[in-house]
Amino acid sequence: MKNKIILFFILSITFQICIAQNSTNENGFTIIPLGVKGGLDESNLSAYMIAASGSNNYLCFDAGTINVGLQKAVQKNLFDETDIAAIQKKYIKGYFVSHAHLDHVAGLILNSPNDIAKNVYGFDSVIEVLKNYYFTWKAWANFTNEGDKPQLNKYTYNYLTPGKELAIANTELSVTPYLLSHVSPYESSAFLIRNKNSYLLYLGDTGPDSVEGSTKLKELWTVVAEPIKRGELKAIFIEVSFDNAMPDKSLFGHLTPRLLMQEMRILNELAGGKLNQVKIFVTHMKPCGNCEKNIKNQIKSENKLGLSIQYPIQGTLIKINN
């Protein structure tokens, strides 16, 4: 009888551990970077497929590159099939566009003929550019539900409200958008992505408040400081486009290693010194000679907070667990 009780106790503990592990995985995120750079290389521009852990229901945050990024992911066996058009149709459930500069939307536009009906999410300023300049019959076919006629109604525009969370159909995710300043007064966006009680923050292009004459980043940091304190914000994807040699007047709404760390110090203070528990993924590095090497070296040198800094690679899976 004693041995049965011990066996039952061991099985019970094992079962509870398995449940906890499954819960942990379900609270996390899976990210497939389809493109990670800013600027010149049209085959590797900002686009990130993000899903809840254990799910194949992805949202695409920005869409500068799609086709080549999916090819890279297929080469690394990240999908159960190899047909690129079929993968785009099946796995990407919608698109969140941070801003409408070409290096963030070119893949969405060029691959639209092979896609199926989906939602495109953005602030008014983003959708107005898509509607008036890109999805027109002068620039491209109008695959959307607004603008030039005939409207092919493949993509449906969804206008976002700052600070209002949306539960996204056909996924396990909810998204809250926030405004950023990108070459003031032009707007960009940040998206706070939630899976149950875990969060991931994705920022489109942004200048620092000190250069932009804005408070947009401080407002965002104030919001995300709370989930950082609770241990719920798992990762931040944030741009660093140039190295420190670029003068502030020539940044055009972007960050350098110096300015990134300036903003991270502000966020860390608001988060009670707990930012080193969050993975920081540096995105959108622009090509300019030794820029990428310089950016990485300068970030390493200036990382006095001991932050976990990582660099996403096109087509390489990222798993973030609770």
Residues of the domain holding 235:
24-320
Within a domain: 4: no
What's the CA gap between 287 and 268, in Å, rounded? 29
Within a domain: 14: no
Tokens read off for 252 = 């055009």
Phi/psi for 63 (5° steps) reads -155, 50
Within a domain: 302: yes
What's the CA gap between 283 and 238, in Å, rounded? 6
What's the CA gap between 179 and 215, in Å, rounded? 10
Looking at the structure of the chain, the number of domains it has is 1
Give the CA count within 13 Å in the CB-facing half-sphere of 16.
6
What's the CA gap between 67 and 210, in Å, rounded? 37
Within a domain: 89: yes
Within a domain: 57: yes
Give the CA count within 13 Å in the CB-facing half-sphere of 34.
32
Q: Would you call 91 exposed, middle or buried from its count of C-beta atoms within 10 A (0-12, 13-18, 19+)?
A: buried
Within a domain: 11: no
Instruction: Report pTM.
Output: 0.92
Within a domain: 18: no
CATH of the domain at 307: 3.60.15.10
What letter would DSSP give residue 144? Answer: B
Within a domain: 13: no
Q: For every one of its 322 residues, what pLDDT tens digit does the chain have, with 9 covering 90 and above?
A: 555 544 444 444 444 444 444 433 479 999 999 999 998 899 999 999 999 999 999 999 999 999 999 999 999 999 999 999 999 999 999 999 999 999 999 999 999 999 999 999 999 999 999 999 999 999 999 999 999 999 999 999 999 999 999 999 999 999 999 999 999 899 999 999 999 999 999 999 999 999 999 999 999 999 999 999 999 999 999 999 999 999 999 999 999 999 999 999 999 999 999 999 999 999 999 988 899 999 999 999 999 999 999 999 999 999 999 7
**Strand duo 174-181 + 166-167: pairing:** antiparallel
235 CB contacts (<8 Å, ≥6 apart)? 29, 200, 201, 278, 279, 280, 281, 320
